[in-house]
Each structure stands twice: as C-alpha cells, then as structure tokens.
Chains A and B, each alone.
Chain A
Amino acid sequence: MLKDIAVSNSPHISKPLSTRAVMVDVVIGLVPAMAAAGYYFRVRALILPAACVISSLAAEWLCNLIRKKPGSLGDFSAVVTGIILALSLPPALPVWTAVIGSAFSIAIGKMVFGGLGANIFNPAMVGRTFLTASFGMLMTTWMVPATIPAALSEICPENNVEARTQATPLAWSKQAIKDENGALIYNEQQFRATLTGEVGGCLGETSVIALLIGGLYLLLRRTINFHIPLAVLLSAFVFAAVFYLVDSDAYMQPFFHLSSGGMLLCAFFIATDPVTAPLTRRGMWLFGIGVGAITMLIRIVGGYPEGVMYSVLLMNAVTPLIDRLCRRIPAGGKPS
C-alpha cells in the first residue's frame, strides 16, 4: 500500500498557480486594448496579432528544437510577447514585417539568452526596435481610425485623405515644440479622442480607457504591482509638468503625454514585465521613475516623437544594477 510514497523538501503543498496562469492573465488584461484596436482599425487588429503570435510561437519552437531543449510553448509567454509587439506596431504595417519582427523578438530578444526568465531586455521591445531601425518608413506610417469619416479627416493637419494616413498626436506635438505653438495644437477634442482611441497611432496604444481597464484588471488580480505603473506615470507627469510650467506655449500639457503614445501600454504591460524589471519595491520605484523620465526626455528633448521603447530597453539594461542597489534588509535588521 505504501510502496510509492514520495520524499521531498517541505512545503508539501503549493498554491494552485502556474506561470501559464500568470501569462493568461496578462493576455486577458490585453483584451480591452485588442477590442478597441478591432473597433478602430478593423481587420488589421486581427491580422497583426495573429501573425505576431503565430510567428512568435514558431520561432520559440524552432529555437527549442535547435537548442535541443524541451518545448516551452506551454507557458504562453511567446503569446504575450506576440500580442504586445502587435499592439505596439502601426496598424498599416505589412504582415511580413510583423512576422520578421516577432521572430526577432523571440529568437534574439529571448531565446539566445536562454529562454523565459533569462532575457535581459523586454523581447517585444527588442523586436520593435529592430523593426524601427530596419523599416523606418513603414514603422512611422499611421492609419486613420476607420471610425473617422473621410470628410472629417481634415482635423488632422497633415492628413492625406487618399492613403488614409495621418500623423500621431505625438508627431504633432513634436512639430509644435519646434514651432513653439503647443497650446494651439492641443485642445479638448483631441484629448477626448485619445481617451476613446479615435486617433492615429499604434494598434493597441490609442485607447486610454481600454488600457486602463486592462491595467486595472491586472492590478486587481495582483498579477502586477502598482509600483511600476504609478512610478512611470508620476515621473512622466512631473517631467512634462516642469516643461509645461516653464513654457506652456511651446510644450504640451502633462496629461496629453500620459494619454498619448505608448505611455499607458508601457506603464501597465511593458515595463511591468517581471523578467526584465527589478524585484524589490524600491527597485521598482527607481525603475519606473527611470522609464517615465527617459520617455519624456526623448519625447521633449530628443529627436523621436515617441520614447517608450528606448526608455524601457535602457532601464532593462540597468535592472540588475538596480536590484543590487536596492537590496532588502531582513525584518530583524542586518545580522551583525
């Protein structure tokens, strides 16, 4: 009767929770953003994520085959990477580009380091950086949301009606900084458009409401901690507010910076990637502040209208240092 009793270390029970469940939670958190994308960019919101996810899974499978490692598709992390990459791509991007990008994300961003848990940089952002460097033109061509009637598209200053493309709000703001007329460009109507998502931009970054719902879900499920999102948003807000207060004619309102571009997608879904973010709370604050500040630095001072992807990658690079800097002190104080 007692032939095959097992012996192992304590504890002998564990919480019914798996890496896959964590990843599935993130996917659920991304659903509102995907739905918003589907509403504004129609069939593109289906094709791009599908292409990215399939390509990510294929790349991971292939890498495991080459490395002679057991399959790791079951943890769903490749699915998360694929979806996040797709949501941070311009809707009009050709499918083959997205396929290359997500394969690069997985192969170079994750698998060369040893797979899940070993990567230094956020795989999706590695893929996006690669695409930006390689296909600059395609990565900066923005579709007009399908819900905007063609006749109304003149609200966008650089609108080209025939190709149905437009600049993103951040691109106008860049121009505004140059022309020092930020106050003229930005108005309430546009702010409202960024809330619902009825503006040009990457597939999943346009709708503030959808992203907030998804982020809230992850927070409530305790899949992510509030530290990183709060730190990112606060530091970006403070940074933008300082510039705005110095010269409110030239610089955009801080809220504009929070609601446009990939700021919220980054705060809730990209910067919170546990593998590439610090472990300790103090470290999370430092990391989040860094991401927010560098993003704003790039947006306001740098050459790009958007800065999320580089700021995340830069902070990823210093994550091990942050972890070393922000060690936890035992509850009973340092042992003497």
Chain B
Amino acid sequence: MRFVTKGRFSFRGGVHPPEKKELTRDSEIQPGPAVKQVAIMLSQHIGAVCESLVNKGDSVKAGQKIGDSDAFVSAPVHSSVNGKVKQIALQSHAVLGRSMAVIIDAEGDDNPASQPSHTEFTDSFDIDSYSSAQICTAVRDAGIVGMGGAGFPTRVKIEPNPRMPKETLIIDACECEPYITCDYRIMLEWTKQIIAGTRLARKASGCSQVFIGIEDNKPNAIEMISRTLEDCGDGDRIKLAPVKTKYPQGGERQLIKAILRKNVPAGGIPPMIGVVVLNVATAAAIAEAVVSGTPLTHRVVTVTGEAISKPGNYYAAIGTTVEDLIEFCGGVTESCAKVVLGGPMMGIAIADLKTPITKTCGAITVLTKRQIGRAKYEGRQTPCIRCGRCLEICPENLNPTKIAHAVKHNLLDVALAYYINACMECGCCSYVCPANIEVTGYIKTGKIFLARQKKKMPE
C-alpha cells in the first residue's frame, strides 16, 4: 500500500528556517521528571482567569479540579500531582508576565505519571455511545484548551453554534515550528487517540467533512495516520491532506488556505467561514477526556536546542518548572544564550527559569549564541533599506516594514491604515530582515499600544 505523501498546496509567502527536528525526531515520548513541587497557573488559556477552588493547606489528588470559572470562554485547571497546597501566589507566566498560581507540594509516590495506554481506543471504543452534548461537557470538564499554543478553550470551539454553523473540521498536524517534535511523536505513538479524538470532535461539532493537514516532511507520520484511518470504522470520512513544508503552514489561517483554498477574513476567526481547527495534541486529549475521563494534567513537551545536553520528548506534569525539565535533560551546556518557551519562531524567551509549563507549552528550546546569530543576540539593527523581503514573505500579505516604522514613530493611525490588526505575529518578517530589524516586535508593541488606547489603560 502506498500513500500520497507529497503536499501540493500551500499559502503565499512564508519562509524555510532550518528545521532542526533531527535533534529530537527519533526520541520516543518518555516519562517526565517526578517533581517535588508544581505550580498550576490559574490562567492557561485565552479567556477568563480561573478562581482557585482550594485553600492553603488543602490536600489535593492528581486530576482534582483546583480552579474554575463561570465564564463561557474559560477552562478549568486540575492538579497534576497528589499533594498539599503550599500557597496560592504570583508566579512568572510566559505570556502575562506574572499571574496567580496554585503551588502544590507533591506527596507520596515519587513515580512520574505514565503515559496513557491507547489499547482502549481500538477495541472497546464506540463512537455511538457518546452524544454531542456529552462530548462537549467532558471536554470542558477536562479543561482542554488548544494545545498548539494559543490555548483557546476547546469546548467553545467544537460546541455547535447556531450563529456560525460549522462544516469543516481540520486537524492541524503541521508542526511547522523548527525544533519542535512533540506533535510528531504523538502522531507516531498515539495515532489511535488522535483518530478517536478527531471522530469525537467531528461528532460534537457536527462537521460534515474532516481533514488532517500535515506537512510533507513527515512521511512516517503520514503513513501511520493513513494506516490507522484504514483500520478505524469511518476512516473514509476523514481525509488526510498533505501540504507543503513551509513556515507558518501550521497557522490555522494558512492551513485553511492550503487545504480549502479559502481565506479567513482579516482579523477574523475560522468559524466565520465554518471551519474549526484543532491541534493533534488537542485531538488526543479529547479522546482521553471523553473515553477515560482523564483531565488534562500532563502533556508532551519537547526539550530541545543546541544547548541542551540530552534533548528529547517528555510526558511532563503541567506545573513542572522549566528548571526541573532542563535539569532532567542533563542541564544546559556553556553556550546557552536563550531559553524559549515554544519554538524559535513564535516562542517566548523567559528570564525566570521557575516559570511553570502550561497546557499550551509544547517545547522548551534552549538556543546558543551561534544559533541566534551574533547580530541578533546583540540586538544590532541597521536602517531599513526597504528591500521588500518582509512584504514578499508575509503570509497575510501585509506591509510589515511600514507598520513597524509607523509604530516606531508612534503613528498608530498609520499602523491601523496598513492593517496592523491583520498581523498574526508569525515572525517571518523579522526572520528574513537583512537589517535585523525586530519587525514583529514593533508590530506586537503597536498592538499593545492600541489595546491601551482602546481601554484607556494607564501607560
């Protein structure tokens, strides 16, 4: 049996950074460190921050709900260990700076959590025994959010919405970020969960067609998924769609463009054109939540980068600190220059290694000065020569240099006129800039300024 593994379609623009997946591509998902303490962030998603349901000194069990919110757009958080609540305090947060977290001292077993077994997704799994409402409730109760990075509560995405009927479900299996391989390993090792999760998500959302979009640099995963689709009951209703390998192919707007040849309105979201996009890791989590009732307390994290002694993929408890994970991987080498939560293109550089990982954190990339490049490391920027490379590669067809310079000179109205809000911050413009200008950085800053203006926030 031969499968089509070559992608024919893509989107306009984009870049080809060195993939560097070979560092961890062949590393199987191993149990993460057994930690003494975890810090569970009360905000691990887009939407309302959870209220803590526990108090200092309370005993908690692994999988117990410790934070929730009444808001529609939100997701509960669960403890990932058995233990005692030490305190509820501010903790470094990759996106928000500082945010409240429940800090739990682990007690009892020192064994790290083992991976979910996936035998139950083959024989006993029966899609007909779950109703749409049941699936949505289970997804919500398990605290599942988009695990590709954005962290949008999954229940809100898949629940049928009469105002925006959903027709197409796309499972995002691109993993276009350099270095990261956690989704790739999930595709190879947890294929059945992914397919089960996909079918559950389709049932919940009522979508008529389903695609699994995957970059064609992962032929093994393509083959694996194709085989599993053949084996499962209604595999012919799920189409595997290989797409070209290019960054940011895994961005939902770019994936929709590549598979459906449709554009999502600028500044809009996929449901506007009847599409739901879910990450593969999210699909796997849905299956676990619905079938086994397991809340989202662990996730696969790729710990990688040239400065890591033993790079690999680990099934780590959410709330584990970056420091613990790095030490578990043998620490960093001398040349370490930057620690990034996520991949090098869109990840967030952190200064505090006590930052705990969240549901959305798929990788820790530790870069050396050499990988960053000297000029970039030192922040040396030269004047823009208007070479137009950023325009050429912009996946959203914007004029990045114009927006960046408008923000630089505090001309927010000009930035708006050049559609600053249509930017999705993929970082391609900064990546190609020969003058090393932090184009994306300026655009992000501009968006913050605009948000402040709108909310009349103090400076």
Measured CB to CB, the residues of A under 8 A from B are 1-2, 4-19, 21-22, 75, 77, 115-118, 225, 274-275, 277, 279-280, 323, 327-336
Which chain A positions have C-beta within 8 A of B392? 225
Determine whether the beta carbon of A328 is less than 8 Å from that of B351: no
Determine whether the beta carbon of B388 is less than 8 Å from that of A13: no
Determine whether the beta carbon of A6 is less than 8 Å from that of B383: no
Closest to A77 in B: B385
A117 to B408 CA separation, bound complex (whole angstroms): 15
B402 to nearest A CB, angstroms? Answer: 7
A13 to B20 CA separation, bound complex (whole angstroms): 12
Which chain B positions have C-beta within 8 A of A21? 434
A19 to B387 CA separation, bound complex (whole angstroms): 9
Determine whether the beta carbon of B441 is less than 8 Å from that of A8: yes
Measured CB to CB, the residues of B under 8 A from A are 11-12, 15, 17-18, 178, 253, 257, 263-268, 331-332, 334, 336-340, 342, 344-351, 353, 365, 367, 371-373, 375-377, 379, 382-388, 391-392, 395-399, 401-402, 417-419, 421-422, 425, 427, 430-436, 438, 440-441, 444
Determine whether the beta carbon of B266 is less than 8 Å from that of A330: yes
Which chain B positions have C-beta within 8 A of A15? 15, 17, 431-432, 434
Determine whether the beta carbon of B422 is less than 8 Å from that of A332: yes
7 nearest A-B pairs in the assembled complex, by CB-CB distance: A9-B441, A117-B383, A11-B427, A332-B266, A330-B266, A330-B422, A335-B267
For B332, B418, B434, the residue with the greatest tally of chain A CB atoms inside 10 Å of its CB is B434
| 13 intermolecular pairs with C-beta atoms under 8 Å apart | A1-B336, A2-B336, A2-B339, A7-B350, A10-B427, A15-B431, A17-B432, A21-B434, A22-B434, A279-B386, A279-B388, A331-B257, A331-B396
Contact of A75 with B382 at beta-carbon distance under 8 Å, contacts A18-B436, A331-B263, A335-B421 already known: yes
Closest to A13 in B: B344
A335 to B269 CA separation, bound complex (whole angstroms): 12
A2 to nearest B CB, angstroms? Answer: 6
Select which of B353, B367, B377, B434 is within 8 A of A19 by beta carbon: B434
A296 to nearest B CB, angstroms? Answer: 26
B13 to nearest A CB, angstroms? Answer: 8
B341 to nearest A CB, angstroms? Answer: 10
A279 to B391 CA separation, bound complex (whole angstroms): 8
Determine whether the beta carbon of B440 is less than 8 Å from that of A10: yes
Which chain A positions have C-beta within 8 A of B383? 19, 115-118
A10 to B397 CA separation, bound complex (whole angstroms): 20
A75 to B381 CA separation, bound complex (whole angstroms): 12
For B264, B350, B365, B383, the residue with the greatest tally of chain A CB atoms inside 10 Å of its CB is B383
Select which of B267, B350, B382, B431 is within 8 A of A11 by beta carbon: B431
B33 to nearest A CB, angstroms? Answer: 17
A10 to B443 CA separation, bound complex (whole angstroms): 11
Known interface pairs A1-B332, A330-B422; 14 further A-B residue pairs with C-beta atoms within 8 A, sorted by A's residue number: A12-B338, A22-B385, A117-B385, A117-B386, A117-B435, A274-B386, A279-B388, A280-B388, A328-B391, A331-B12, A331-B395, A332-B396, A333-B263, A335-B268
Determine whether the beta carbon of A18 is less than 8 Å from that of B351: no
Determine whether the beta carbon of A19 is less than 8 Å from that of B395: no
B39 to nearest A CB, angstroms? Answer: 18
Which chain B positions have C-beta within 8 A of A329? 397
Determine whether the beta carbon of A13 is less than 8 Å from that of B349: no
Which chain A positions have C-beta within 8 A of B345? 10-13
Determine whether the beta carbon of A5 is less than 8 Å from that of B348: no
Closest to B369 in A: A6
Which chain A positions have C-beta within 8 A of B373? 13-14, 16
Which chain B positions have C-beta within 8 A of A77? 385
A22 to B402 CA separation, bound complex (whole angstroms): 20
The secondary-structure label for the interface of chain A is loop
Contact of A335 with B266 at beta-carbon distance under 8 Å, contacts A5-B337, A10-B348, A11-B344 already known: yes
A7 to B344 CA separation, bound complex (whole angstroms): 12
Determine whether the beta carbon of B336 is less than 8 Å from that of A335: no
Closest to B428 in A: A11
Determine whether the beta carbon of A12 is less than 8 Å from that of B422: no
Contact of A332 with B436 at beta-carbon distance under 8 Å, contacts A1-B331, A327-B399 already known: no
Determine whether the beta carbon of A13 is less than 8 Å from that of B178: yes
A323 to B391 CA separation, bound complex (whole angstroms): 12
For A9, A274, A334, the residue with the greatest tally of chain B CB atoms inside 10 Å of its CB is A9
Which chain B positions have C-beta within 8 A of A2? 332, 336, 339, 353
Determine whether the beta carbon of A116 is less than 8 Å from that of B385: yes
Determine whether the beta carbon of A12 is less than 8 Å from that of B265: no
A114 to nearest B CB, angstroms? Answer: 8
Select which of A5, A117, A328, A335 is within 8 A of B265 by beta carbon: A335
A19 to B438 CA separation, bound complex (whole angstroms): 15
Which chain A positions have C-beta within 8 A of B371? 13
B64 to nearest A CB, angstroms? Answer: 33
Determine whether the beta carbon of B419 is less than 8 Å from that of A330: yes
Which chain A positions have C-beta within 8 A of B367? 12-13
Which chain B positions have C-beta within 8 A of A275? 385-386
Contact of A10 with B347 at beta-carbon distance under 8 Å, contacts A279-B391, A328-B391, A332-B422 already known: yes
Contact of A279 with B339 at beta-carbon distance under 8 Å, contacts A13-B17, A13-B345 already known: no
Which chain B positions have C-beta within 8 A of A6? 337-338, 349, 372, 377
Contact of A331 with B253 at beta-carbon distance under 8 Å, contacts A11-B346, A12-B349, A14-B430 already known: yes
A275 to B372 CA separation, bound complex (whole angstroms): 27
A15 to nearest B CB, angstroms? Answer: 5
Determine whether the beta carbon of A335 is less than 8 Å from that of B419: yes
A8 to B337 CA separation, bound complex (whole angstroms): 11
Which chain A positions have C-beta within 8 A of B431? 11, 13-15
B20 to nearest A CB, angstroms? Answer: 9
Closest to B254 in A: A331
Which chain A positions have C-beta within 8 A of B435? 18-19, 117
Which chain A positions have C-beta within 8 A of B338? 5-8, 12
A5 to B350 CA separation, bound complex (whole angstroms): 8
Which chain B positions have C-beta within 8 A of A279? 386, 388, 391, 399, 401-402
Determine whether the beta carbon of B430 is less than 8 Å from that of A332: no
Which chain A positions have C-beta within 8 A of B382? 18-19, 75, 116
A326 to B392 CA separation, bound complex (whole angstroms): 15
B337 to nearest A CB, angstroms? Answer: 6
For A1, A2, A13, the residue with the greatest tally of chain B CB atoms inside 10 Å of its CB is A13
Which chain A positions have C-beta within 8 A of B337? 4-6
Which chain A positions have C-beta within 8 A of B395? 331
Determine whether the beta carbon of A9 is less than 8 Å from that of B438: yes
For B17, B253, B399, the residue with the greatest tally of chain A CB atoms inside 10 Å of its CB is B399
Closest to B345 in A: A11
B189 to nearest A CB, angstroms? Answer: 28
A112 to B385 CA separation, bound complex (whole angstroms): 16
Determine whether the beta carbon of B266 is less than 8 Å from that of A280: no
Closest to B265 in A: A332
Closest to B353 in A: A2
A288 to B336 CA separation, bound complex (whole angstroms): 48
Which chain A positions have C-beta within 8 A of B264? 332
Determine whether the beta carbon of A333 is less than 8 Å from that of B266: yes
Which chain A positions have C-beta within 8 A of B18? 13
Which chain B positions have C-beta within 8 A of A115? 383
Select which of B376, B385, B417, B419 is within 8 A of A14 by beta carbon: B376
